[in-house]
Amino acid sequence: MREGSIRTTSFDVAALAGVSQSAVSRAFKPGSSIAAETREKVLDAARKLNYVPNSIASSLTTHRSNIVAIILGDLNNPFYTHVLQTFGRELQALNRHMLVFTLTEDMHTDDAIMQLLPYQVDGVILTSAQLSTRMVGMCHDRGIPVVLFNRYIPNTGAFGVRCDNPAGGRQIAEAFLAAGARTFAMITGDPKGTTSADRATGFVDRLLDAGIPRSAINSYEGGSSYEGGVEAAKAMMANDATPPDAIFGINDIMAMGAMDVLRIEYGLRVPEDVMVAGFDDIPEGARLPYRLTTVRQPINRMVRATLDLLNLENPDSSVDIASDLPIGGHLVWRNTIPPAKSE
């Protein structure tokens, strides 16, 4: 049985401090016109009463909640755990808070948006695909900016922050070619998203440019998870007993899954028997058993670009469109591609 807690309001504080309720409100708002002395009196009284302003009430008048919604599609990929952590830190610094939605089988992006609309959030960050134009409209009508993270959806009118995925794919292709690879496999991620497709396109285009025949490039779906990477590698080996020279995991976690099966179940050595590369540069891929060569996604810059586009501080001003441009990633050389062959 919880006792009926008596709520302390700004009126109680005003009474104790001997000022008006307006003064209490002003005391808690930085930059408002109030005498330093009055503010002190109020703050003292508030301290004595353990008073904390009710942001629900203030949101109602200001139409700002200081809450940003973040919709997470896939926590099975540690990349997004790092993303969440980074957003948490940066939002913290801006004095904003995160309302987090983790998508499940029966809840899609649109449902999540419908659920967050009532909360009058100041913005929404989307790390999952499949957003409908209608939902972008719902947000837009309410003045809620939405920005996609690590993806974009053409013609939705929502910003899409991402790194230069095609360029990254090309860099991996070049590294493989330089190391002498001539046959290839790709393990692809979410077929509905732009990210996997863009990386694959860059990769394949560069290979074709180098004169590699299309028939020397196979592709397997890995569903963006470790387990998917495992299954894709098995499918690949079932398909053809001799592995390709090089495997491009469209993200690190799938590359890691593939490496594990290839080494443990098929006794293959990386990179001696088969080269591997990933994409993202998650810390997990840098660990001892993997030392994965990959393309680093500039998470910090991507997060900051996202926040810029959300334009939290000054919602009525226009936004710097340049933040919507792809950000360059760069190749991180580790041990899963041998150094270039000088022939």
Partner DNA sequence: CTGAAAGCGCTTACAG
Q: How far apart are CA 278 and CA 52, in angstroms?
A: 48
Q: Of 21, 51, 49, which is closest to residue 34 (Cα–Cα)?
A: 21
Residue 133 makes contact with DNA by CB under 7 A: no
Q: Which of 3, 4, 30, 37 binds DNA (CB under 7 A)?
A: 37
Q: Which of 79, 101, 176, 220 binds its own copies (CB under 8 A)?
A: 101
Q: How far apart are CA 59 and CA 133, in angstroms?
A: 27
Nearest to DNA of 51, 79 (CB atom): 51
Q: Could you give phi then psi for residue 220, rounded to 5 degrees?
A: -135, 140
Residue 241 makes contact with its own copies by CB under 8 A: no
Minimum CB separation from its own copies for residue 64, in Å? 10
Q: How far apart are CA 102 and CA 90, in angstroms?
A: 20
Q: How far apart are CA 116 and CA 99, in angstroms?
A: 8
The structure tokens listed for 54 are 């009710």
Q: Pick the stretch among 138-146, 191-199, 294-302, 325-333 that binds its own copies (CB under 8 A).
A: 138-146
Task: Build a one-symbol-per-residue string for 49-88: x at contacts with DNA by CB under 7 A, - elsewhere.
Answer: --x-xx--xx-xxxx-------------------------
Question: Do 299 and 86 meet the contact criterion of CB atoms below 8 Å apart?
Answer: yes
Minimum CB separation from DNA for residue 309, in Å? 24
Residue 322 makes contact with its own copies by CB under 8 A: no
β-partners of residue 185 are: 218, 247
Minimum CB separation from its own copies for residue 266, in Å? 11
Residue 171 makes contact with its own copies by CB under 8 A: no
238 binds, among its own copies, DNA, none (CB under 5 to 8 A by kind): none
Q: How far apart are CA 187 and CA 326, in angstroms?
A: 23
Tell me which H or E stretch contains 257.
Answer: helix 252-264
Whether the bond into 271 is cis, omega within 30 of 0: yes
Q: How far apart are CA 98 and CA 69, in angstroms?
A: 6
- Residues 241 to 260 in contact with DNA, rule: CB under 7 A: none
Residue 333 makes contact with DNA by CB under 7 A: no
Q: How far apart are CA 26 and CA 17, in angstroms?
A: 13
- Cα distance from N-terminal residue to C-terminal residue, the chain: 80
230 binds, among DNA, its own copies, none (CB under 5 to 8 A by kind): its own copies
Applying CB under 7 A, which residues contact DNA? 7, 9-11, 19-23, 25-26, 28-29, 32-35, 37-38, 51, 53-54, 57-58, 60-63
Applying CB under 8 A, which residues contact its own copies? 1-5, 7, 50, 52-57, 59-60, 63, 65, 67, 75, 78, 81, 84-85, 88-89, 92, 97-102, 104, 107, 114-120, 138, 140-143, 145, 226, 230, 260-261, 264-265, 284, 287-289, 315-318
